[in-house]
Structure 1
Amino acid sequence: MGKVVLVTGVARQLGARFVAEIRRRPDVDLVVGVDVQPPRGGAAVPERLDDPDAAEYRFAQVDLRRPAIARVIAEHQVDTVVHLNVSATGLGSTGRSAVKESNVIGTMQLLGACQKAPGLRRLVVKSTTGVYGSAPRDPAVFAERTQPKNLPSGGFAKDAVEVEGYVRGFARRRPDVSVTVLRFANIVGPAGDTPLCEYFALPVLPTVLGYDPRLQFVHEDDAVEVLCRAALEPRRGTSNAGTFNVAGEGVLLLSQCARRLGRPTLPLLLPAISWVAGLARQTRMADFSPEQLRLLTHGRVVDTTQLRETFGYVPRYTTAEAFGDFAKGRRPGLLPPERLTAVADRLAGLLAPDARHAPPGTDGPTRPDRPTRPTRPTRHRS
Structure 2
Amino acid sequence: MSQTPALSAPRSVLVTGAATFLGGYLVARLAENPEIERVVAVDSRVPNKTLLRRMGRAEFLRLDIRRPAIAKALTSYDVDTVVHAAPSLMDAAAHSAAIKELNVVGSMQVSAACQRTPSVKRLILRSTAMIYGASSADPAYFTEGTPARREPRRGYGRDMLDVEGYARGLARRRPDIDVTILRPQAILGPRIATRMSSYLSMPLVPVVFGRAARLQFLHEEDALGALEWATLHPVRGTFNLAGDGVVTLAQAVHRAGHLQLPVPATLLAPLAGVLKEGRVPSIRSDQEGFLAFGRVLDTTRMRSELGFEPKYTTLETLDDFIARGPTEPVISAQAWQSMERRVVSAATALQ
TM-score by length of 2: 0.92
Gaps of 5+ in 2: 1-8
Matched with 2:61 is 60
Which residue of 2 is the match for residue 10 of structure 1? 18
1:348 counterpart (340, 344, 347): 344
3-state secondary structure, aligned to 1:134: coil
1:192 is displaced (CA, Å) by: 2.2
SS of equivalent to 2:51 = coil
Report if the CA contact (8 A) 1:277-1:289 is conserved. Answer: no
| Equivalent in the alignment of 2:263 | 268
Using a 3 Å threshold, how does the CA distance of structure 1 residues 2 and 184 change in structure 2: closer, same or farther? closer
**2:243 pairs with 248, 261, 267, which one?**
248
Instruction: Quote the residue 1:194 is aligned against.
Output: 194
- The structural deviation recorded for 1:298 is 0.9
Aligned partner of residue 6 in structure 1, secondary structure? strand
Q: C-alpha offsets along residues 20-57 of structure 1, whole Å, 9 cap, x if unaligned?
A: 1112223211110000111127xx414336xxxx7x31
1:246-272, Cα deviation, whole Å (9 max, x unpaired): 000111100111011111010011223
Query: In structure 1, which of residues 318, 327, 330 is the aligned counterpart of residue 326 of structure 2?
Result: 330
Whole-angstrom CA distance in 2 between matches of 1:113 and 1:286: 32
2:298 corresponds in structure 1 to 303
Name the CA distance, whole Å, in 1 between partners of 2:25 and 2:288.
29
Q: Distance in 2 between matches of 1:353 and 1:327?
A: 33
Aligned match for 2:51, one of 45, 49, 53: 45
1:90/1:275 Cα in 2 relative to 1: closer, same or farther (>3 Å)?
A: closer
SS in 1 for 2:54: coil
Q: Distance in 1 between matches of 2:104 and 2:275?
A: 26
Deviates more, 1:26-35 or 1:337-346: 337-346
SS in 1 for 2:24: helix
Residue number in structure 1 paired with 2:83: 82
Give the CA deviation at 1:337: 2.2
> What does residue 140 of structure 2 align with?
140
Shift of 1:229: 1.4
1:124 is matched by which residue type in structure 2?
I
| Higher deviation after alignment, 297-306 or 320-329 | 320-329
Distance 1:47 1:330, change over 3 A: closer
Distance 2:99 2:279 in 1: 16
Residue 165 and residue 83 in structure 1: after superposition, are their counterparts in 2 closer, same or farther (change >3 A)? same
Q: Which residue of 2 aligns with 1:28?
A: 36
Give the C-alpha shift of residue 194 in structure 1.
0.9
Unaligned regions of 5+ residues in structure 1, if any? 235-239, 356-382
Q: From the superposition, tell whether residues 334 and 17 of structure 1 become closer, same or farther in structure 2 (CA, over 3 Å).
A: same
Aligned-residue offset at 1:2: 5.9
- In structure 2, the partner of 1:320 is 315
- Distance in 2 separating the partners of 1:147 and 1:315: 24
With over 3 angstroms needed to count, the CA separation of the structure-2 counterparts of 1:233 and 1:138, relative to structure 1, is closer
Question: Which residue matches 1:117?
Answer: 117
Aligned-pair Cα RMSD in Å:
2.0
CA displacement at 1:153 relative to structure 2: 1.5
Task: State the one-letter code of the partner of 1:48.
Answer: R
Q: CA deviation at 1:353?
A: 4.4
Name the structure 1 match of 2:6: none
Secondary structure of the corresponding residue to residue 341 of structure 1:
helix
Q: Quick one: distance in 1 between partners of 2:35 and 2:75? A: 20
Please show how residues 351-366 of structure 1 align to structure 2 within 5 Å. Answer: 351-353=347-349
Partner of residue 70, structure 1: 71
- Measure the CA separation in 1 of the matches of 2:242 and 2:140: 15
Amino acid in structure 2 at the alignment position of 1:19: V
How far did residue 312 of structure 1 move? 1.0
In terms of fraction of residues, the more helix-rich structure is 2
Q: What is residue 174 of structure 2 aligned with on the other side? A: 174
CA distance in 2 between partners of 1:336 and 1:162 (Å): 44
1:354 deviation in Å? 7.2
d(CA) in 1 for partners of 2:341 and 2:307? 40
CA gap 1:203/1:170 in 2 versus in 1, 3 angstroms: same
Q: 1:67 to 1:279 in 2, by over 3 A?
A: farther
Which deviates more from structure 2 when the two are superposed, residues 334-343 or residues 96-105?
334-343
Q: Judge conservation of contact 1:17–1:46 (CA < 8 Å) in 2.
A: no
Question: Using the alignment, how far apart are the partners of 1:341 and 1:292 within structure 2?
Answer: 31
Deviates more, 1:135-144 or 1:220-229: 220-229
User: Does the 8 Å contact 2:89/2:95 carry over to 1?
Assistant: no
Work out which of the residue numbers 284, 288, 307 in structure 2 matches 1:293: 288
**Which is bigger in relative contact order (C-alpha 8 A, separation at least 6)?**
2
The TM-score normalised by the length of structure 1 is 0.85
What pairs up with 1:89-100 in 2 under 5 angstroms? 89-90=90-91, 96-100=96-100
Q: Which runs of 4+ in 1 moved over 4 A?
A: 277-282
1:75 positional shift: 0.8
Q: 1:284 Cα deviation (Å)?
A: 4.5
Measure the CA separation in 1 of the matches of 2:52 and 2:300: 33
Kindly indicate whether the alpha-carbon contact (under 8 Å) linking 1:33 and 1:58 is maintained by their aligned counterparts in 2. Answer: yes
Q: Which residue in 2 is equivalent to 1:164?
A: 164
* Cα displacement string for residues 179-212 of structure 1 (whole angstroms, at most 9, x for unaligned residues): 0000000111110201111111212100000011
Q: Residue 243 of structure 2 aligns to a residue in which SS?
A: coil
Q: Which amino acid in 1 is paired with 2:305?
A: T
How many residue pairs are counted as aligned between the two chains? 342
